[in-house]
Amino acid sequence: MSRISGLISEQMSLQRKNRTLLAMISLVLGITMIAQAVLLAEVVQRIFVEKASFSSVITLLGLLLAVMVIRTLLFYSNGKVGLHMAARAKTNMRSAVLQSLIYTSMPSTLRGQTGGKVSIALDAVDEADQYFSQYMPRMMEAAMIPILILIVTFYLHSNTGWILLCTAPFIPLFMILVGLKTKNKSEEKYTQLAEFSGTFLDSLQGLVSLKIFGRANHQQQEIERSSLGYRDATMSILKIAFTNTFMLESIVMLSIGIVALELALQLLVFKSMAFHTAFLILLLIPEFYSLLKNTGTAFHSGRTSMGAICKVDQMLAESQITSELEDIGQSTSASNQQIMKSQHTSTTLDQSTPLSIELEDVHFHYGTDSFELQTGNISFQAGEHIAIVGKSGSGKTTLLHLIAGLLKPTSGEVLVNRKVLSESQQSAWFRQVSYITQHPYIFAGTIAENISIGAGRQVSTAEIEQAAEEAGLTVLIDQLQQGLETVIGDGGRGLSGGEKQRLALARAFLKRPTIILFDEPTVGLDLHTEQVLQRSIALLSQKATMITVAHRLYTIQDADQIVFMDHGAVVDTGRHDELIGRLPLYAEMVNVQQKGGIA
């Protein structure tokens, strides 16, 4: 709850001007409501009681019209300011969510279901709208206008004022009781929606595997179960909303009835009240209760929105906690890192020359009781070609991610050109690195757009064609009717594994990196594709330090240095002929590969 008010009050303090404007509009709106009732009562009094001529009330009618126009304009402005506040708050919240998704570390980004995150970023943020566009303006009105009406009523007839004062608290009391329940239900609804979205997206992405394993029916039942859960949560909120409306209407009708009865008694039986006063009060009372009633409905929407905002807040808090934990993890070795940092001050990244990399006793774990990686001290000279080898699950990809800066060491340091990279150098560092994974991500767009992503700058078609040529993509592009303009990725033409890697290489050719991280394909590619890839990689790595998670014997044999990993530890490093002689585990691996014919 404290975090909810934290996020809301953060938005509120950003919108102080709009809130002041809302308060002023509400105050003037209250005054126009009373003025309208006074003028109307006066006109009716003059025409029907005093039998005055129509021409004598023309000025009053003109004034009445002007007040009504002003009231309408104020009402419109109130809505406009509320909508403006909501739009600004949503923009801020959505950008905070996107920032947290973009800038948190890779493990925390991967944590949780993607569909759930999408529904929070889109639906939950949208739901926050009502808090600012409905709840806030209505609450502001409720804080001012009913008090003004109450003061006028007390001035006109104190008994009626007391009736209002006694009946009015039932409405906020009822709102609070209902609102508490609504907020919990709304949080439940968003948990259900996140689960539903997550299950649905998972099932869509894994549809082929599910069909092959005969699990499609089971997954269908899962989707049905989570969609029913979401339906039930939504229906229970609607049930509360309907009960809320019914109860509020009943309270309002009963209260107006009591006031009307009292006025009738004063006017007709005791004859202690003038018609003008009674009629004026009768005009003001429905306004009074209708405002409170609207506040009740807005309160319900506000609490629903608060449940959604709570979900957004939880997501932001989780990413904050993760990054704080990562910071604490890094500071566990604070003392020795401090010494290292004083020795290795920040480096300047030079785009033109290859960089050297050193790992100084790097330790890493994904979480407590999970896989642990430790490197000891290793150094890769500028321009060297390194092969990381080891059994599946030994930590090769994790090591590559640590070198790339996608994961932060739990302790120890990754040095670039013998210096620690500062936070501000991260983007300069990423401009130097190309990471070619086994399954490069293809964005929905044309081939040209997908290749030019690598450049990080405006590039000409000639440059893109050149990169495609160097990566061996030209044959494929020539076969396509729309060539470089063919749409690929989600919703477009599919690409084979080898084609995707060549596209990733074309991105790298445009970028001309000084560090290449390459996750060699484990699957067998045809001889031609294999040759094209090898030739392109060799060309690309001429002016770069290249670190490959290697599966091909020829990559391993040609490497300047091989890093052999086993169970998360770097067991040994050296050239092929050195390791073959002194490391039986390595010799066995090479033997298996030769027998398997992978070489």
Interacting residue ranges for ligand ATP, rule: CB under 6 A = 107, 110, 366, 370-371, 390, 392-398
Nearest residue (CB) to ligand ATP, 159 versus 593: 593
Closest CA relative to residue 27, chosen from 112, 144, 158: 144
Going by their DSSP bridges, the two strands 561-566 and 385-390 should be labelled as parallel
Nearest residue (CB) to ligand ATP, 154 versus 371: 371
- Smallest separation (angstroms) from ligand ATP to the CB of 564: 12
* Cβ pair 351, 362 in contact under 8 A: no
Nearest residue (CB) to ligand ATP, 185 versus 396: 396
Over its C-alpha atoms, the chain yields an Rg (Å, rounded) of: 35
- Smallest separation (angstroms) from ligand ATP to the CB of 370: 5
Q: What is the DSSP letter of 168?
A: T
Nearest residue (CB) to ligand ATP, 160 versus 398: 398
- Smallest separation (angstroms) from ligand ATP to the CB of 219: 24
Q: Which residues pair with 569 in a beta bridge?
A: 374, 566
Q: DSSP string spanning 135-165? A: IHHHHHHHHHHHHHHHHHHHHH-HHHHHHHH
Tell me the three state secondary structure of residue 352.
coil
- Smallest separation (angstroms) from ligand ATP to the CB of 373: 7
- Smallest separation (angstroms) from ligand ATP to the CB of 90: 32
Nearest residue (CB) to ligand ATP, 112 versus 489: 112
- Smallest separation (angstroms) from ligand ATP to the CB of 474: 31
- Smallest separation (angstroms) from ligand ATP to the CB of 359: 15
Residue 4 has φ and ψ, to the nearest 5°, of -65, -55
Nearest residue (CB) to ligand ATP, 111 versus 181: 111
- Smallest separation (angstroms) from ligand ATP to the CB of 565: 7
Residue 518 φ/ψ region, left for φ over 0, alpha for ψ in the -120 to 50 degree band, beta for the rest: beta
Sign of the four-CA dihedral 263, 269, 274, 279: positive
- Smallest separation (angstroms) from ligand ATP to the CB of 589: 12
CA dihedral 481, 485, 490, 495 (to 10 degrees): 60
Nearest residue (CB) to ligand ATP, 53 versus 370: 370
Q: Which residue has the tokens 């989570």?
A: 226
- Smallest separation (angstroms) from ligand ATP to the CB of 398: 3
CA dihedral 153, 159, 162, 164 (to 10 degrees): -60
- Smallest separation (angstroms) from ligand ATP to the CB of 562: 14
Residue 243, both tokens: 């009960």
- Smallest separation (angstroms) from ligand ATP to the CB of 396: 4
| Whole-angstrom distance, CA of residue 114 vs CA of residue 313 | 17
Query: Under 8 Å CB-to-CB from 15, ≥6 apart: which residues?
Result: 85, 88, 89, 132
Nearest residue (CB) to ligand ATP, 352 versus 370: 370
| Whole-angstrom distance, CA of residue 199 vs CA of residue 118 | 12
- CA atoms within 13 Å, Cβ hemisphere of 560: 12
Say what angle helices 461-470 and 527-540 make with each other, to 10 degrees: 120
Closest CA relative to residue 301, chosen from 93, 125, 83, 133: 133
Query: Under 8 Å CB-to-CB from 432, ≥6 apart: which residues?
Result: 349, 351, 355, 513, 514, 515
Closest CA relative to residue 357, chosen from 342, 370, 367, 347: 347
Nearest residue (CB) to ligand ATP, 211 versus 567: 567
* Cβ pair 138, 294 in contact under 8 A: yes
Query: Under 8 Å CB-to-CB from 179, ≥6 apart: which residues?
Result: 299, 300, 302, 303
Nearest residue (CB) to ligand ATP, 170 versus 366: 366
Which of 529-547 are b and which e, b meaning 16 or more Cβ less than 10 Å from the residue's Cβ? Answer: beebbbebbeebbeebbbb
- Smallest separation (angstroms) from ligand ATP to the CB of 400: 8
* Cβ pair 91, 15 in contact under 8 A: no
Q: Which residues pair with 385 in a beta bridge?
A: 546
- Smallest separation (angstroms) from ligand ATP to the CB of 371: 4
Which of 326-343 are b and which e, b meaning 16 or more Cβ less than 10 Å from the residue's Cβ? Answer: beebbeebeeebeebeee
- Smallest separation (angstroms) from ligand ATP to the CB of 107: 5
| Whole-angstrom distance, CA of residue 163 vs CA of residue 593 | 92
Nearest residue (CB) to ligand ATP, 110 versus 339: 110
Nearest residue (CB) to ligand ATP, 300 versus 401: 401
